[in-house]
Amino acid sequence: MPKGTNQKFKLYRLAQLMLEQTDDEHYITMPEILAGLGNYGITADRKSIYQDLKDLEVLGIEVEGEPDGKGYHYHVVSRPFELPELKLLVDAIQSSRFITEKKTNALIRKLEKLVSRYEANRLQRQVFVSGRIKTMNESIYYAVDTIHNAISDNKKIRFQYYQWNVKKEMVLRRDGAFYEISPWGLSWDSENYYLVGFDSEAGEIRHYRVDKMLRIQMTDKAREGKEHFRKLDMADYAKKSFGMFGGEEKTVKLLVDHQLAGVIVDRFGKDVHMIPVDENHFTVSVTVMVSSQFLGWIFSLGEKVEILGPEEVKEQMRREGERLLKQYS
């Protein structure tokens, strides 16, 4: 039989056809395969298609044929991502506050291309973004990329930083002057992305909301602050900083009701030492950045948790309580 036309595209189009139209529940027959290739102007005989289906394994696409009446039908049996895995990724993208609604929908549409058109419909039913508070900074993806490149190249970055005023207007901090920071890591906390870096001018570690950074650039200056980050555990740093608010680092001893054991483990991890006091309480010592956010977290737990020390932290809590009482009396 003469060789078919457009052969150089045949394997690519066959892979596309199998990935888009088949899955564990949907099959395609040999006549349907030939017709599908024909839609792309590709002609081929059955014998060559049998070999091509085997060759797809080289591309990581495993195809299985099963008896169907007098013939066979075929489907893809393995993909780089299973549908449940993609649903997890969709959920993560949807719940990420730092990803804009526009980018959220664009990313999900790209994920849909990793499954068949039937499974893509099931992913679409997972999509509900409207009404969720999302960042409005579309440039955050390029900012993150610039930060990663600067870390890899051991360079400082410079950027402008903004905040919102009561008129919901974007106002640049420092009257628009650029910040120059040595980036050492990125942290995801309370649904926001933070740059953790060294401020040479202040001589300390600081963090910045990535979605509030503008005009970010990588400089040709080498990073500084390596000695500050050599022993820094980034995950531990985020755990100590409530809502990424700074404060003086202290080891705080808490008296906690047994009912809040899960809350303590969720916040500080399973390595935390809980020392029984009586049948209803235990004590735990945790290292945290003592900030208004930390004190607010303690307040939110009510009478089931009490700060035992150090005394200066207890005094901070007393002053905060007095302030609230005065404010609402």
247 & 315 share domain: yes
Q: Which domain holds residue 253?
A: 242-328
158 & 221 share domain: yes
160 & 225 share domain: yes
Which CATH number do you get for residue 51? 1.10.10.10
Tell me the CA distances in angstroms from 310 to 139, 255, 301, one per residue in order: 43, 12, 19
Say if residue 130's pLDDT is above 60: no
64 close to 77: Cβ distance less than 8 angstroms: yes
Q: What is the pTM assigned to this prediction?
A: 0.57
**What pLDDT does 183 receive?**
94
Looking at residue 320, the DSSP 8-state letter turns out to be H
* Residue 195 CB-density burial (10 A; 0-12 exposed, 13-18 middle, 19+ buried): buried
**What pLDDT does 265 receive?**
85
Q: What are the structure tokens assigned to 142, written together?
A: 């390029």
- Buried (b) or exposed (e) across 52-71, using 16+ Cβ within 10 A? bbeebeeeebebeeeeeeee
87 & 63 share domain: no
Q: Please compute Rg for the chain using Cα positions.
A: 28
pLDDT tier at 266, thresholds 50, 70, 90: confident
Say if residue 53's pLDDT is above 70: yes
59 & 90 share domain: no
